[in-house]
Chain A
Amino acid sequence: MDLKTISRYSVQLCACLLLSPGALSQSSDGADIPYSTTGADMCLACHQSNQVVLAIFKTKHAVPSDPRSPFGDGQLQCEACHGPGGLHIAQGGNEVLITGFGADSVAPVKAQNIMCLECHTADIGFAWHGGPHDDNEVSCAGCHQIHTGNDAVLNTSTQAEKCYDCHAFRKSDSLKAYSHPLREGKMACTDCHSPHGATTELQLVRQSLNDTCFQCHAEKRGPFLWEHAPVAEDCSNCHNPHGSNHPGMLAKRAPLLCQSCHSQSGHPSIAYDADGVATGMPSQYLLGQSCLNCHSQVHGSNHPSGSRLMR
């Protein structure tokens, strides 16, 4: 069965699901825990000196005029996120009887995230389910600080450090001799990736890897008169976008990178060895920009005589 057949069946499956009644989020399972009687005023009776708690009022979650906000008119205020607090209050502030967030919370990650996704469904939760962060049970609060006016992960200059907490290999990549300017805080992981999930490969922000790269490198988009096939297909055929030991974040040093695919008789197929390197006079194909000394238009040429990507 090929993928086209599979896709046809899959569409039929989706249609069945779409036409089915009921709502996933409307389960009434669970204990009957009461809410507080007066909302946030009861919470603050105990927590009003806690600066971390009070920091919520510096955020978009605490805007009374926004009916969607937890503190909007008629909303559940603190209990919109932390769940019903009646037992928590009745038992003298027992912390395990209220939904906490973050690594120290006893609430399972799913339970934490459900609270967020109840509201952030359309924008953030669009493709959360089944995305890699969902697969790996990453909590929203694992990345986001909610009780602060400055959530570090929302700032370009500090975001990457937060992502590196889990993505240690990417941190190493950012330290390589050639990398995008994440170490300097001038680029964010979210410039390319959608951490909340996406239907794109690698959770990229555009529909393809190349489209994502073209956001900043549109000059390489073409279409050119003379295309270079691997370029038109996938920039990562030659580049490691997270960092490399080699200029241009290339996956390998030229000419060996080029010789992985070019075997034509003559200079492409010659074994360029280290003879002369010690005396500073090796083959000219090794020095400077190697193959690019002449074939400078490796991303494509629009010159009528540019079929060899030299014009």
Chain B
Amino acid sequence: MFEARLTRYRSIAMLAIASSALIAPVAETAPPDTSNWKCNLCPFETGSQGNITAGGTYVSDDAAKFGDASGYDEKGGYANVDGEGKYASEGFRLNWYAEDLGLDSRVFEIDGGRQGKYGFYVGYRELPKRVFDTTSSVFGPSGNDSLVLPGSWVPAPLTSGMTALDSSLNSQNIESDRQTIEFGAKYLPSSRFDLFADFRRQQNDGVDIFGGSTFTQASQLLKPLDYQTDEVDAGVRYRTERGHLTLAYYGSFFENDATSLIWDNPFSFDPSTSLPGEDQGRHAPEPDNDFQQVTLSGSYRAATLNSVIAFSAAMGRGEQDDLLLPYTINPNIAAAALPRSMLDAEVDTMNLAFTVVSRPFLKARVKLAFRHDERDNKTSQLQWSRVITDTFPTIDNELNIPYSFERSRLNLSADYRLFDTVKLSAGYDRMEFDRNFQEVAEQTEDAGWGKIRWRPTSYLDITARGGASERDIDRYDEVFAAGLGQNPLLRKYNLAYRYREFGELTFSTSHPAQPVSFTFDVLYANDEYRRSQLGLTDSEELRFAADLSWSISERASVYLTGGIEEIDGEQLGSELFSTPDWQASHTDKFHNFGGGFRVAGIGDKVDLQLDYTRADGNTEINVASGPGGQSQFPDLESTLDSLRMKILYRWSDKLEAILQLRYESFSAEDWALQGVAADTIPTILTLGAQPYDYEVWVVGIGFRYLIGSSTAR
């Protein structure tokens, strides 16, 4: 029976392949007369239906990281409401969706319209970013643009001498909330045209960590965030049976309510290193800016060589004309006048792309893709004076550097179906990169790759891909590098010569007659920066991932999943500004494992699901300097354990009860933060952020009520 089924599949598959003619409908047949196709039995939806879930959740502990994005950052009870629903009537539809309405991660969306004529949507979502809840600061806000020390503050040259520190520290979380409002509409005046317009406003409020430095000291500060970004997408699309054209506009407008941030220097005046007046610093927050772009894109299906062409051409301009701050806030420094009061910065972008895919005959496909990207920074170059950390004026002026680049990519590839079960692919990629004002002006990269895909049966799929690339440069301008104070032997890794090898193997099996599927992926990549005497010299990545799932029955399934990853990097440095005299290795390891099961309809009343995840991150750093010197850092570690269980009980046709239990623990070892209190570092007043370490239980119960009813016509 099995053989018979296989034979049948194979013959039908071959028939379908042949009849499909690759980009043609299966078995193209003259369209029938559908005038009598009444569809009397079709239960088209009308009326309304949906569900609302209301309930409560208890969270056992405060944990910023656990609350990051989820909204469950504080211990205590939360009331919550979720739901979704729809209304349909004679072609008009209205859908609504609500998620986590009681939390700081709430989402509410409505979309609807008369399909084929117009559509609209409105959405609101919040995203909480919770970074640290272990931080404290001695600064308090004064208005929107100043951070001031308390009146009792005792400045000192070193943090250990700040006698009022302990009494001045106030707990301050590092957190922000992103609120997004969006709405849009589309209108289809005919079957050929449609018009669309979307607007999105993001408001991001909160605080972030900011390093405010003086000449020899620094303070970690709470930088207020008050960002607003408006985005507009609008356009018109024209379509035919052969293809389409779209003319679109994109605008992004960023506004920062803060134009300046002044902070009091908590360190005392040191005559040996600073000038009188170094009691405040001033930071220029991110300036208002906008970016506007017009794009023409389209596609066309041509008969010649069975080809499909897609193209896109975009022209954009970014501008920034915020008023500039003076060189310094220090009144004791007679700073020069600014060359202009605002930068009037302007960047033009151009992005051109096209792709041609042709199937010259049944077994082959060739692809050509070309892409060209330009960033042309037209900002004027001017001579600027400088006051170092509001402390010392400099003698020499310096020019601002408006970076520009052009990047072109060409991809050529071909597929050939050697047998029904084997497909071969090969490709060549070339990239050309032109930059200005950098050590490397012209850079090229050539890559070749091959792939074989073997599908001996419809339920076994093995794919192997491998290749190599060589990135080369015209020359590394050591004179230019010296002008930046760089060691002439350094090769920046994004500019350096690089030889890369890569390979990937994917194994997947999913037998239609057996309820088990298994996939396995392995990836290897090695980058060698063979001509770099200083900087990154080697990087290697090895990854495995596997997934096993078993559908025990129509109602029950289990799965196991896991992954292993290791990324090694080697770099060289020189303390003596000469040949390499130190070496560092940096190894990121990451292991994850998970499993779970689903059981539905236990006694026709109960659904049960359980998921467990464990993830271990580990970073080994070794810095070797001097003869035989090896310096192994303590490992940077993180461990996540997460268990989620959900039980759904169907009380009646209208009412369901949902019990959710969640446990999550996260612990980290990080020497950069561990035990670093506000005064641990003599010259840096920190916020005392500590590595994440939490264990949280969440228990929730909710009741889902099914509302409304749909009726069939």
A296 and B210 within 8 A (CB): yes
Q: Which residues of A contact B35 (CB under 8 A)?
A: 74
B256 and A219 within 8 A (CB): yes
16 pairs from A and B in contact (CB 8 Å cutoff)? A40-B37, A64-B39, A69-B116, A76-B32, A150-B84, A169-B523, A172-B565, A177-B617, A186-B70, A216-B178, A219-B254, A256-B586, A260-B571, A271-B625, A289-B211, A304-B324
B681 and A106 within 8 A (CB): no
B534 and A186 within 8 A (CB): no
Q: How far is the CA of A187 from the CA of B494 in the complex (A)?
A: 29
* Of A10, A127, A135, the contact of B368 (CB 8 Å cutoff): A10
A305 and B311 within 8 A (CB): no
How far is the CB of A291 from the nearest CB of chain B, in Å? 9
B300 and A18 within 8 A (CB): yes
B254 and A218 within 8 A (CB): yes
Q: Which residues of A contact B358 (CB under 8 A)?
A: 17
Q: Does A152 contact B (CB under 8 A)?
A: no
Q: Does B169 contact A (CB under 8 A)?
A: no
A114 and B218 within 8 A (CB): no
B432 and A2 within 8 A (CB): yes
Q: Which residues of B contact A241 (CB under 8 A)?
A: none
Q: Does B588 contact A (CB under 8 A)?
A: yes
B244 and A126 within 8 A (CB): yes
Q: Which residues of B contact A150 (CB under 8 A)?
A: 84
* Of B70, B116, B302, B676, the contact of A20 (CB 8 Å cutoff): B302
Q: How far is the CA of A208 from the CA of B250 in the complex (A)?
A: 13
Residues in B109-160 with C-beta less than 8 Å from chain A: 114-117, 125, 127
Q: Does B185 contact A (CB under 8 A)?
A: no
Q: Which residues of A contact B543 (CB under 8 A)?
A: 169, 172
* Of A83, A108, A127, the contact of B299 (CB 8 Å cutoff): A127
Residue of A nearest to B668 (CB): A177
A65 and B115 within 8 A (CB): yes
Q: Which residues of B contact A36 (CB under 8 A)?
A: 32
B43 and A54 within 8 A (CB): yes
CB-CB under 8 A for A287 and B676, given A31-B27, A224-B287, A224-B345: yes
Q: How far is the CA of A69 from the CA of B684 in the complex (A)?
A: 65
Residue of A nearest to B519 (CB): A168
Q: Does A311 contact B (CB under 8 A)?
A: yes
A96 and B12 within 8 A (CB): yes
B584 and A307 within 8 A (CB): no
A232 and B487 within 8 A (CB): no
Q: Does A92 contact B (CB under 8 A)?
A: no
B34 and A74 within 8 A (CB): yes
Q: How far is the CA of A272 from the CA of B417 in the complex (A)?
A: 55
CB-CB under 8 A for A245 and B619, given A27-B28, A69-B116, A111-B16: yes
A253 and B213 within 8 A (CB): no
Q: How far is the CA of A19 from the CA of B573 in the complex (A)?
A: 58
CB-CB under 8 A for A280 and B680, given A3-B430, A62-B42: yes
Q: Does B168 contact A (CB under 8 A)?
A: no
B400 and A264 within 8 A (CB): no
Residues in B78-104 with C-beta less than 8 Å from chain A: 84, 86, 90-91, 93, 97, 99
Q: Which residues of B contact A302 (CB under 8 A)?
A: 284, 286-287, 320, 322, 324, 343
Q: Which residues of A contact B243 (CB under 8 A)?
A: 121-122
Q: Does A239 contact B (CB under 8 A)?
A: no
CB-CB under 8 A for A263 and B486, given A219-B286, A274-B633: yes
Could you say which of B370-378, B599-607, B700-708 contacts chain A? B370-378
Q: Which residues of B contact A227 (CB under 8 A)?
A: 377, 400-403
Q: Does B672 contact A (CB under 8 A)?
A: yes
CB-CB under 8 A for A6 and B370, given A286-B671, A304-B325: yes
What 1/0 flags go to A137-169 for Cβ under 8 Å of B? Answer: 000000000000110000111000000011011
Q: How far is the CA of A125 from the CA of B297 in the complex (A)?
A: 12
A229 and B403 within 8 A (CB): yes
Q: Which residues of A contact B519 (CB under 8 A)?
A: 166, 168
- Given A111-B17, A303-B283, list of 4 further CB < 8 A pairs? A22-B302, A27-B28, A41-B42, A294-B211
CB-CB under 8 A for A176 and B213, given A40-B39, A233-B405, A269-B575: no
B571 and A256 within 8 A (CB): yes
Q: Does B220 contact A (CB under 8 A)?
A: yes
Q: Does A26 contact B (CB under 8 A)?
A: yes
A272 and B623 within 8 A (CB): yes
How far is the CB of A196 from the nearest CB of chain B, in Å? 11
B105 and A96 within 8 A (CB): no
